[in-house]
Amino acid sequence: MLGYDNLMNHYKTNFNLMQFHKYSLSDLENMIPWEKTIYIDLLKEHIREQNEKSRDQQALANRRR
């Protein structure tokens, strides 16, 4: 089942993609099985990069104090 370890994880992933990243349920349901995995991996990388930028900016702001 698309690499999900359980059904609840599948629904949580769909919910998060719809709620926070503006995917529609029909978008998610119409994806080719491996396509969703690729989009999730790209999204995780993007979030990692954003978090890293945020930490760097916070560290810079703390040094200026």
**37 inside domain:** yes
Q: What is the pLDDT of residue 56?
A: 94
For the stretch 6-53, pLDDT in tens is: 889 889 999 999 999 999 999 999 999 899 999 999 999 999 999 999
Q: Which domain holds residue 55?
A: 7-64
Q: Give residues with Cβ within 8 angstroms of 1, minimum separation 6.
A: 7, 10
- Count of structural domains within the chain: 1
Is 36 part of any domain?
yes
* pTM score above 0.85: no
pLDDT at 1 over 80: no
On whether residue 2 sits in a domain, the answer given is no
User: Is the distance from CB of 17 to CB of 28 less than 8 angstroms?
Assistant: yes
- Residue 4 pLDDT > 90, yes or no? no
